[in-house]
Amino acid sequence: MKKTLSLLLVLLMVAVLLPATAELEPGKYPLTEKFGEIELNFLVTDHPAIVDWETNEFVKWIEETTNVDLKFETVPLEGRAEKLSLVLASGTYPDVFMSVGMSSAMISKFGVQEQLFMPLNDLIDKYAPNTLKVFEQYPGSKGLLTQLDGNIYSLPSVNECYHCTVANKFFMNMDWLKAVGMEKPTTLDELYDVLVAFRDKDPNGNGQADEIPLAGAYLDGWNTRTERFIMNAFTYYNVDLTQTNTTSMEAFGLYLEDGKIVTPFEKPEFKEGLKYMRKLVDEKLYYVGSFSQNLNQLTQLAESGVLGATSAGYILFANLGGPVYRQYDYVLPVKGPNGYQNVVSFPHDSVATTGYVLSADCKNPEAAVMVGDLLLSYDASIRGYYGVKGVDWDDADEGALGINGLPALYKTMVPWQEVEPQNQHVVQQTISMRDSTFRLGETSPADVDLWSSEGLETYLYKASAEYKPFARDEKVIPPIKFTEEENDELTVLRVELANPIKEGVIGFMTGARDVDADYDAFLAELEGKGLPRLIELHQTQYDAQYAAK
């Protein structure tokens, strides 16, 4: 009897000392009574604006809420893909890979093929109520996360940037428009007349013919490839001519047409659009240097007072709130020769699918999933993005309205930034749940100056609401997953096709190639480099993942 009692006492003592992860209750924190009984090791990004992950105020809040001791190893923001690859090849893994630039191809290789990542399906169902809410709010999100083997290897992250869904906006200098006595153009012909007036009528008033009516930036810059605005008056055109982009479907012009994946290159309207761009270049209405300049150079044109119009995600080509910045306003998509209008849209970018991955040998997977699920709560999302409540942000004042005109959720007390080192938040380096209600719930005074930093989000909401009706979201291909073998083949095809597409399209616009004389050879080159096979691979997996859904 004494031996039995002694054994029971020992078992009870062991039970107290061991983390009871199997008994965790979904959505209930802390996870243990004593801090440090559970320890989780994270691989995260060493962002230059984060002073120290270990002492960060947001991280401390997570630890206080969960009683879990969080440890961090970092990869540098610049070159993190290379460092991540080295970690994955090392054989020694953290419990959690969080926001380190993991790609879908890596999930397929190291999760599906090599089984180095942990399937999360059952853990999500049992321990992740916030994740299940994401699946409910975004019906296609569970499918996006599900790999070809039927398993989910990452928790989601939501960043529903309303203005990002129609980010390819067009901005024009309103002072110049007033100087030449014209209104915002609504058709391609009207746009042409405005650009001619900008070229010929000295709208900047300096007595010199130094005006550049229209320009862009192709080396970098968020949506600063201006030909998209022009070409979408002819046909659906999502081609991304970013000089460094060789992986996205837009780099190859892929889009949906009645369930079939196509490109615009063989369309007569596409050729007409190229001819129109060539006309703008020849008549010095479109700055030919656009194809080889970066955002800084585009900004120099604007700030020096010689830029009439350009494309961008917002007025990022001028100093925010400055006198030049205030001269610009958005112009809605114009109608082309056949009345066609479109704006490039990005409807599938709200839910990210590779930001919170558990290694297969994670010692406390239940706790790791619950910590990740906590990051998707409102409290964690706002603290992780803005910082400390009462210092960096606070609840909205009674009666205050948000950016969307609805009752506000919160007000900011310190301008958000991701440049100067700070230790209040983690600069978007965790998963979070920032849906449109969250993002548009920031207090926006009714009299806010739309051309100030405080009014930027409100301005972009207003512009985006007017752009939305022109978007043809049904043509945008949702994210597609491929097998490791398919990814290997696609890598080769992309390398083969990227430069011919960029050099060909830009060449036709600049006059280096002639549309009438050289276009058939361009199409033949794309076929020879494997464009039909690229389309076939995308079509096969699109049909498997979406067509029957």
Pairing relationship of beta strands 96-98 and 260-262 according to DSSP bridges: unpaired
What is the pLDDT, as a whole number, of residue 245? Answer: 67
Is 8 part of any domain? Answer: no
**259 and 316 fall within a common domain:** yes
Mean local confidence (pLDDT), 406-422: 93
Model confidence band, residue 548 (pLDDT cutoffs 50, 70, 90): low
How many C-beta neighbours within 10 Å does residue 92 have?
7
| Encoded tokens for 408 | 């506000």
Q: How many helices (H) and strands (E) does the chain have?
A: 19, 15
Q: Are 313 and 464 in contact (CB under 8 A)?
A: no
User: Any idea what the Cα angle at residue 502 is, between residues 501 and 507, rounded to 5°?
Assistant: 100
Is 4 part of any domain? Answer: no
Mean local confidence (pLDDT), 132-158: 94
Q: Give the single-character DSSP code of 216.
A: -
How far apart are the C-alpha atoms of 130 and 431, rounded to whole Å?
Answer: 12
Model confidence band, residue 10 (pLDDT cutoffs 50, 70, 90): very low
**366 and 324 fall within a common domain:** no
Q: Are 233 and 217 in contact (CB under 8 A)?
A: no
Model confidence band, residue 25 (pLDDT cutoffs 50, 70, 90): confident
| Encoded tokens for 75 | 């990869």
What is the pLDDT, as a whole number, of residue 243? Answer: 65
**133 and 154 fall within a common domain:** yes
| Encoded tokens for 47 | 């962002």
Mean local confidence (pLDDT), 308-327: 96
Pairing relationship of beta strands 356-358 and 96-98 according to DSSP bridges: antiparallel
HSE-up (13 A, CA, CB side) for residue 422: 19
Q: Give strand pairing partners of 410.
A: 395, 442
**173 and 95 fall within a common domain:** no
**90 and 127 fall within a common domain:** yes
How far apart are the C-alpha atoms of 18 and 206, rounded to whole Å?
Answer: 78
Percentage of residues in the chain with pLDDT exceeding 90?
A: 87
Strands (E) located in 11-63: 38-46
What is the pLDDT, as a whole number, of residue 8? Answer: 40
Q: Are 387 and 425 in contact (CB under 8 A)?
A: yes
Residues near 217 by Cβ (< 8 Å), separated by ≥ 6?
Answer: 224, 225, 290, 293, 294, 295, 297, 298, 310, 317
Residue 549 has pLDDT above 60, yes or no: no
Is 387 part of any domain? Answer: no
**328 and 361 fall within a common domain:** no
CATH code at position 68: 3.40.190.10
- Smallest CA-to-CA distance from 72 within 89, 102, 50 is with 50
Mean local confidence (pLDDT), 293-319: 96
What is the pLDDT, as a whole number, of residue 9? Answer: 41
Is 3 part of any domain? Answer: no
| Encoded tokens for 305 | 């007072």
231-258 tens-digit pLDDT: 999 999 999 988 666 778 999 999 999 9
Is 13 part of any domain? Answer: no
How far apart are the C-alpha atoms of 377 and 365, rounded to whole Å?
Answer: 19
User: Mean pLDDT of all residues in the chain?
Assistant: 93
Residues near 161 by Cβ (< 8 Å), separated by ≥ 6?
Answer: 349, 350, 439
Query: Torsion-angle region of residue 462: left (phi > 0), alpha (psi -120 to 50) or beta?
Result: alpha
**255 and 112 fall within a common domain:** no
What is the pLDDT, as a whole number, of residue 24? Answer: 86
What is the pLDDT, as a whole number, of residue 99? Answer: 97
416-425 tens-digit pLDDT: 888 899 999 9
Residue 11 has pLDDT above 50, yes or no: no
Model confidence band, residue 14 (pLDDT cutoffs 50, 70, 90): very low
The alpha carbon torsion through 451, 457, 462, 466 (nearest 10 deg) reads 110
Mean local confidence (pLDDT), 248-273: 96
Helix, strand, coil percentages in the chain from 3-state DSSP, rounded to 5: 45, 15, 45
Q: Give the single-character DSSP code of 169.
A: E
**189 and 337 fall within a common domain:** yes
Identify the domain containing residue 448 by its residue range. Answer: 393-469
Mean local confidence (pLDDT), 123-143: 95
Q: Give the single-character DSSP code of 543.
A: I
Residue 13 has pLDDT above 70, yes or no: no
476-490 tens-digit pLDDT: 999 999 988 999 999
Q: Give the single-character DSSP code of 377.
A: S
Pairing relationship of beta strands 351-352 and 157-159 according to DSSP bridges: antiparallel
Helix (H, G, I), strand (E, B) or coil at 79: coil
**112 and 210 fall within a common domain:** no
**421 and 375 fall within a common domain:** no
194-217 tens-digit pLDDT: 999 999 999 999 999 999 999 999
Mean local confidence (pLDDT), 327-342: 96
Q: Give strand pairing partners of 45.
A: 75
What is the pLDDT, as a whole number, of residue 15? Answer: 40
Q: Are 331 and 309 in contact (CB under 8 A)?
A: yes
Percentage of residues in the chain with pLDDT exceeding 70?
A: 95
How far apart are the C-alpha atoms of 450 and 456, rounded to whole Å?
Answer: 6
**232 and 276 fall within a common domain:** yes
| Encoded tokens for 127 | 């321990």
Is 523 part of any domain? Answer: yes
Instruction: Answer with the one of 469, 501, 536 that is the final residue of a domain.
Output: 469
* Structural domains in the chain (count): 3
**178 and 197 fall within a common domain:** yes
Residue 4 has pLDDT above 90, yes or no: no
- Smallest CA-to-CA distance from 365 within 128, 104, 106 is with 128
Instruction: List, edge to edge, every strand of the sheet that includes 38-46.
Output: 68-76, 38-46, 96-98, 356-358
Is 517 part of any domain? Answer: yes
Q: Are 246 and 231 in contact (CB under 8 A)?
A: no
Which helix (DSSP H) or strand (DSSP E) does residue 410 occupy?
A: strand 410-412
Is 315 part of any domain? Answer: yes
Mean local confidence (pLDDT), 342-362: 94
What is the pLDDT, as a whole number, of residue 95? Answer: 98
